[in-house]
Amino acid sequence: MLKKIYVCGCCGAERKEANHWFILQRTRVGFALHTWAWAQREGQLDEDDVEHLCGQECAHKMLGRFMEEVGGA
């Protein structure tokens, strides 16, 4: 059986077993940040509207990017 490889949408790091990853999900009205365990439980890991993020630093960077996209409105 092939194992799915997840790559951080911010820095390109590959997910390892012990990593503490997050899922950034874009929604119609904004975004939601989820823990990896929650997203896995809810079947959200492979959705089209999510970014896989390798940790807190990349989560902060991606949230900042998202806020820049919608800021100024």
Is position 9 within any domain? no
CA distances in angstroms from 30 to 1, 50, 72, 73, listed in the order given:
36, 12, 14, 13
Mean pLDDT for 39-54 is 92
The pLDDT of residue 43 is 93
pTM of the model: 0.84
pLDDT mean across residues, the chain: 89
Residue 42 is part of which domain span?
22-70
Is position 1 within any domain? no
Is position 12 within any domain? no
The count of domains in the chain is: 1
Residues 6+ away with beta carbon under 8 Å from 37: none
CB 47 within 8 A of CB 8: no
- pLDDT of 11 > 80? The answer is yes
Is position 49 within any domain? yes
